[in-house]
Structure 1
Amino acid sequence: MPSKYLPEFREIGRKIAYYRTLRGLSQEALADKIDISTSYLSKIEAPNSTMTFSLEVLFQIAEALNISIGVFFRPIDLQNTDNKIE
């Protein structure tokens, strides 16, 4: 059964991809840092993903990217490169 919060998971996945790229990391490098498979991370980041993930995984990703987990829950303009990383 798909999560009713699928749009929110997809938006967080988009932000993960954005900040990962901003940090100059490949999916493989980030996945290795947090000990998950590259395919799992790829599914999390996929724009049409049906993947949900745990808060623990999100904390690990935020830590690996050296950003506050709150960044994933605030709106950002992905076209604006002046977004603050907190």
Structure 2
Amino acid sequence: MDMKRIGSKIAYYRKIRGMTQVELAEKAEMSASYISRIERGASVQGVPLTIYLRLAVALGVTLEDLYRD
């Protein structure tokens, strides 16, 4: 699965929970600009699995939810 697709899923789960990028960033302990890059699939170096795990926990979903088609 590509980074853009995972980023879209993160944005989807964030929006259905009524969260802003800033709120998700605070909950996942990262910057809102990094959340934005992840959601757009624009991270140049790729995103470590640990970051996806932190986001999944903050969103109340599993890694499988983010990776599943």
Q: Write out the 4+ residue segments of structure 1 that deviate beyond 4 Å after TM superposition.
A: none
When the two chains are superposed, the root-mean-square deviation of aligned CA atoms in Å is 1.2
- Taking structure 1 as the reference length, the TM-score comes to 0.73
Q: Select the structure with the greater relative contact order (CA < 8 A; seq sep ≥ 6).
A: 2
Structure 2 residue runs without a partner (length 5+): none
Runs of at least 5 residues in structure 1 that lack an aligned partner in the other structure: 1-6, 76-86
What is the percent sequence identity of the aligned residues?
Answer: 37
Normalising to structure 2: TM-score of the pair?
Answer: 0.90
- Looking at structure 1, the residues matched to 67 and 38 of structure 2 have their Cα atoms a distance apart, in angstroms, of 15
**Count of residue pairs the alignment pairs up:** 67
If each structure's helix is expressed as a fraction of its own residues, which one has the higher value? 2
Q: Which residue of 1 aligns with 2:16?
A: 22
- Equivalent residue of 1:25, what SS? coil
* CA distance in structure 1 between the partners assigned to 2:66 and 2:2 by the alignment: 10
